[in-house]
């Protein structure tokens, strides 16, 4: 299912506080320096249109949320939405998320990592491009604090089971722990826009949570 056209943004809105280019970071860097004050940090890879960052930064003001999006126009759109609502505790990094984890993020800096509906890269010759690979799983475990959580959701059942096996084979994380599907109380009461699309159209969503020992 392809990405839809983004709404136009007001070019006069300053997104510089919320949009961070990966290339502008030092190696490694303290992600807390992007926020007005240090708070428990949660990371999202593949932020899309930014629904998770917007919702969670509103609901959890005592945490900082750092998203990542490889598509530059989507990252700018997310930053625009965050800027409109003046979200001090949310930022988006534009660039390769795998490189962000591998090169820039320090050890044990995050309380949670969120991965929602990553591209399944259906063709066999493209599956090496998948997010869930042994090297990335090692980086997730490295950046998570003790008892930190990994949230992994997908609408592709085969990808779900393959990813769970990769996590079992390549990490010490406990799980998978089941995640109950919650009834939506309003039209945007979903973790991401993609989850909303899947559930409205009657498609299954496969969810798992892991904990770093």
CA-nearest of 158, 99, 96 to 127 is: 158
DSSP readout, 134-182? HHHHHHHHHHEEEEEEEEEEES-HHHHHHHHHHHHHH---EEEEE-PPP
> How large is the angle between the packed helices 72-84 and 51-59, nearest 10 degrees?
30
SS3 92: strand
19 DSSP β-pair partners: 92
Torsion of CA 42, 204, 130, 170, to 10 degrees: 70
Query: Any idea which residue has 């406990």 for tokens?
Result: 174
Annotated active-site residue in 119, 155, 169, 204: 119
Is residue 86 flagged as an active site residue? no
Query: Which helix (H) or strand (E) is 81 found in, with range?
Result: helix 72-84
Contact 159, 120 (CB under 8 A): yes
Query: Which helix (H) or strand (E) is 116 found in, with range?
Result: strand 110-116
- List residues with catalytic annotation: 119
């Amino acid at each position: 299912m392809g990405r839809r056209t983004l709404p136009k943004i007001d070019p006069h809105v300053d997104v510089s506080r919320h949009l961070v280019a990966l290339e502008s970071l030092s190696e490694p860097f303290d992600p807390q320096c992007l926020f007005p004050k240090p708070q428990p940090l949660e990371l999202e890879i593949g932020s899309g249109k930014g629904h998770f960052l917007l919702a969670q930064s509103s609901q959890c003001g005592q945490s900082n949320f750092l998203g990542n999006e490889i598509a530059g126009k989507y990252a700018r759109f997310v930053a625009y939405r965050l800027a409109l609502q003046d979200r001090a505790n949310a930022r988006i990094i534009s660039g390769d998320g795998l490189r962000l984890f591998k090169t820039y993020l320090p050890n044990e800096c995050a309380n949670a990592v969120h991965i929602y509906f990553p591209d399944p890269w259906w063709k066999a010759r493209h599956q090496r491009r998948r997010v869930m690979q042994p090297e990335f799983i090692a980086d997730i475990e490295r950046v998570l604090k003790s008892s930190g959580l990994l949230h992994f959701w997908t609408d592709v059942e085969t990808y779900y089971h393959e990813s769970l096996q990769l996590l079992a084979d390549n990490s010490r994380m406990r799980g998978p722990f089941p995640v109950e599907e919650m009834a939506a109380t309003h039209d945007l009461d979903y973790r991401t826009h993609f989850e909303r699309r899947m559930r409205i159209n009657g498609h299954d969503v496969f969810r798992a949570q892991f904990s770093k020992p």
